[in-house]
Amino acid sequence: MRMGEVLRKTGETEILLQIELDGTGANQIDTEIPFLNHMLTLLAVHSLCNLKVAARGDLDVDDHHSVEDIGICLGEALKTAVGDKRGINRYGEATVPMDEALARVVLDFSGRACLVYNAQIAREKIGRMSTENVKEFFQAVANHAGINVHIDLIRGDNTHHCVEAVFKAFARALKMAVELEPRIEGIWSSKGNL
């Protein structure tokens, strides 16, 4: 089973995150941030990864530490779950509509962390979540999983729809990238290593 589990305790947050790559999209999400719960549920459902997140943070300050640290945990869990990356597709891409919004995510489990984030979000908050922390979440995932992630919000007016399209596109790209390619016995790289 390709799984990763991270327990992170700091002076700002306490997080337990578990992911199983070869799942059905089953999820148990409790971050104390309702909109982030919704987005992580969508991530699980559309990636077909089983995902469990239990997070407590200093929300009396703001949501930044919780959102970023959950991204750190997801990145570390993904890195553990893919292991040496033997046999994975490595690359994934998806373009996903959500009503008037359209988002594209392309990623590579290259071992080289990089985020290119091109998403202008109109509103500052959705519920209790600051929309600027969407970028912080994906930056943390990219850094700690060692993946190259390109996120483009192609269009959209409704802030909820825009962020939802981004999370769904990331989930679909993730699903593609971690799928096993039976013709590849080793690591899918001309160098033989990632």
Q: Residue 97: which CATH number?
A: 3.30.230.40
Q: Is 184 within a domain? A: no
**Cβ contact 95:103 at 8 Å:** yes
**Cβ contact 83:144 at 8 Å:** no
Helix/strand/coil for 129:
strand
Residue 141 C-alpha from the chain's centroid = 6
How many domains is the chain built from? 1
92, two tokens? 């994934």
Q: Is 192 within a domain? A: no
Contacts with 103 (C-beta within 8 Å, 6 or more apart), sequence order: 95, 96, 119, 151, 152, 153, 154, 156, 162, 165, 166, 168, 169
Q: Is 22 within a domain? A: yes
24 vs 190, higher pLDDT: 24
Predicted confidence (pLDDT) per residue in 47-84, tens digit: 999 999 999 999 999 999 999 999 999 999 999 999 99
**Cβ contact 177:88 at 8 Å:** yes
- What per-residue confidence (pLDDT) applies to 191? 74
Q: Is 187 within a domain? A: no
Q: Is 66 within a domain? A: yes
Q: Is 89 within a domain? A: yes
- What per-residue confidence (pLDDT) applies to 161? 98
Q: pLDDT band for position 189 (50/70/90)?
A: confident
- What per-residue confidence (pLDDT) applies to 50? 98
Q: Is 76 within a domain? A: yes
Q: Which domain holds residue 169?
A: 3-178
For 45, phi then psi, to 5°, come to -60, -45
pTM for this one? 0.96
Beta strands in 58-162, from DSSP E residues, in sequence order? 91-98, 101-108, 114-118, 125-126, 129-130, 148-155
189 vs 137, higher pLDDT: 137
Q: Is 64 within a domain? A: yes
